[in-house]
A and B are shown apart, each in its own frame.
Chain A
Amino acid sequence: MILKEVEAEITGSVWKIEVTEGQKVEEDDVLLIIESMKMEIPLLSTIAGVVKEIRVKEGEDLQEGKVAVIIEE
């Protein structure tokens, strides 16, 4: 079992969460959308697996590098 932390690529706010805990995802699936620089920037899964934990809420501000989602391979 490998846990992969998916970090925010950019500072902004969580505009929309596109997955739920327990959901299966493929590599490059959209996990959530960060609103930053007046754009909707998707945060993509870096591996295929199951969403183990979502560590952010919609509307929340987040810094670049913050772990937003944990995927279990």
Chain B
Amino acid sequence: MDTKIEENQKVNELEKEEHIWQPEIDEINKRQEFAEKLGGEKNIKRQHDTGRLTARERIKALLDDNSFHEYGALTGKATYSEDGSFLESTPANIIIGKGKVNKMKVVVSADDFTVRGGSSEAASPEKMVFAENLALDLQVPLIRLVDAAGGSIKILEKNQSTKIPGYAQWNMAEMLGQAPVVGVALGPCAGLGAVRVVASHFSVMVKEKSQVFAAGPYVVGPGVNEYVTKEELGGSQVHVHKSGVVQNEAKDEEDAFEQVKAFLSYLPSNVHNLPERIELEDSVDRCEDELASIIPRDKRKVYNMRKILKLIFDEGSLFEIGKFHGRSTITMFGRLNGYPVGIMANDPYIYGGSMSAESAEKIAYFVDLCDTFHLPVVNLVDQPGVSIGTQAENKGTIKKAINAMMAISQVNIPWSTVFVRRSFGVAGAAYAPRGRANVRYAWPSAHWGSIPVEGGVEAAFRKELSASENSEQELKNLIDYYRKFESPFRTAERFGIEEMIDPRNTRPVLCEWVEEAYALLPQLVGVRKRTMRL
């Protein structure tokens, strides 16, 4: 037979074969169209009327253009004609898939509030857990866009039974040690919804549009006879500004997505890789004159620590985490010569910068975060000590401070300390771990000790001072006498501090350090293991 005819016959047979499945191929597309329609026009309008985007709009806003690859679009509740052919379907109220954020591969799960208010009744736990495990398997960040009213008692009727809570296949703790997890609260997030927001490396909630709670107002009212609005119970005023359950507040959904993108830009896609350096315009030799007089000579006066950070780190590189909780400590991501670093600093405006119970919790979380993803840390220290007084004791501040201290001492990342002013007491000792590439610098305004001269003198000489006729003058004399020992130069003479620097040189010095730190990082990658704390 002619070879050409033979080839044509083969092609025809192939085409014929492809067409055998055309009805089913059409059904895939038809079913996908139902998935695109979410919970229907009426419910989409209702979602928009509350100032919230739909799950698909959110995915589009978050991910790089055309990067979304969906899994499980066909999951849902279908209806069939008498002859068993497909009629229509309502999708499950969670959309999952992979995509890219600033070119980094991620897995995303997005609750669809337009299908039964995101309630468990229309949920697909298998899909939710698959997204979690997919991120773990692919070793890429997981972003959860949460907007779910929570469990519904009607699920009992649907399943004709109850089940012990939990998901055996969901390994949340393992994921937190392997790749970045971000929780975004975009509506009410109750029970499991709250867990999916909070059990993350970074959480953000939209102001006045989202709430996070163990149980919502309809359960709380009859449960504990407390009738409150969902905003009073778990709005950002509660969880960002008071409890610290959620780290950041966003003014709208777009802002929340920008914060997610910013957060991920400092991190590697998993713990087996290094954070990525980016090219920046800022010069490594930039020395800001203002730094030479930014700390007041009068020890009673405070100053603006955030301004110092802006003057030192790469221009426009600072991203603050948990600004409104544990406010005496500032925690940020930033860059030095384009290299991502974690930044800790004291804010003297709040509690004088001391270590409160809340800031101790914040420190423990932040150093774990940096250690997990191998971000070198720069600590700018002005630490007056652990918060004191009856309120501080009642909060168990000393124990929380020790927990923070343990967290710091267990990290194995390179760490640089810059003493800008005070470093006193128990908290004053918790400024750095013992490890490699850990260098300490001091500004001329630095001073330190187990107890400050002011206060310390009054405590040690209380008998003498109370017996003295001229106690005020006596106190002044004693303070003057002890203060002369406080000069950091006396410490430097004894090699108690490695280097005293002109504050203007802080940036060049740290830019040199960060190169050394990143040269060490390849030896430190992998999953971090930690021992027991308190």
Contact = CB atoms under 8 A, between A and B. Distances in A.
Contacts of A9: 327, 349-351
Contacts of A1: none
A40 B296 CA distance: 12
Given A42-B302, A42-B349, A44-B349, A37 B354 contact: yes
A63 interface: yes
B455 interface: yes
Interface residues of B, number: 18
B384 interface: yes
B350 A39 contact: no
B345 to A, nearest CB: 17
A44 B301 CA distance: 15
B299 interface: yes
Contact of A39 (B327, B348, B389, B391): B348
Tell me the interface secondary structure of chain B in the complex.
Answer: loop
A32 B109 CA distance: 47
A72 B456 CA distance: 42
A13 B452 CA distance: 20
B354 A39 contact: no
Contacts of A63: 391
Contact of A64 (B327, B348, B391, B452): B391
B300 interface: yes
Interface in A4-24: 9-11
Contacts of A38: 299-300, 452, 454-455
Contacts of B302: 39-42
B226 to A, nearest CB: 21
A36 B352 contact: yes
A9 B391 CA distance: 12
Contacts of A65: 391
B299 A39 contact: yes
A64 B348 CA distance: 16
A11 B397 CA distance: 15
Nearest to B301: A40
A11 B389 contact: yes
B441 to A, nearest CB: 24
Interface residues of A, number: 14
Nearest to A44: B349
Interface in A23-54: 36-42, 44
A2 B338 CA distance: 43
Interface in B453-470: 454-455
B349 A41 contact: yes
A65 B350 CA distance: 13
B391 A41 contact: no
Nearest to B296: A40
A64 B358 CA distance: 14
A67 to B, nearest CB: 15
A63 B354 CA distance: 16
A36 B354 CA distance: 11
Contacts of B388: 37
Interface string B380-416: 0000100011010000000000000000000000000
A64 B452 CA distance: 22
Interface string B302-315: 10000000000000
Nearest to B304: A28
Nearest to B455: A38
A37 B350 CA distance: 11
B184 to A, nearest CB: 25
Determine which residue in A11, A37, A41 has the highest number of CB atoms from chain B within 10 A of its CB, and name it.
A37
A44 B302 CA distance: 13
A27 to B, nearest CB: 14
Contacts of B391: 11, 63-65
Nearest to B389: A11
A10 B353 CA distance: 11
Contacts of A40: 300-302
Contacts of B352: 10, 36-37, 39, 41
Nearest to A11: B389
A40 B352 CA distance: 9
Nearest to B351: A10
Contacts of A39: 299-302, 348, 352, 384
B452 to A, nearest CB: 7
* Centre residue among B300, B301, B327, B452 by max chain A CB count within 10 A: B300
Contacts of A44: 349
B518 to A, nearest CB: 36
Interface in B141-180: none
Interface string B335-367: 000000000000011111010000000000000
10 contacts: A37-B351, A37-B354, A37-B388, A38-B299, A38-B452, A39-B352, A40-B300, A40-B302, A63-B391, A64-B389
Interface of B: 299-302, 327, 348-352, 354, 384, 388-389, 391, 452, 454-455
Given A39-B352, A40-B300, 4 more contacts: A11-B391, A37-B354, A39-B348, A39-B384
- Which 7 pairs between the two chains have the least Cβ-Cβ distance? A38-B454, A37-B352, A40-B300, A10-B351, A39-B352, A11-B389, A39-B300
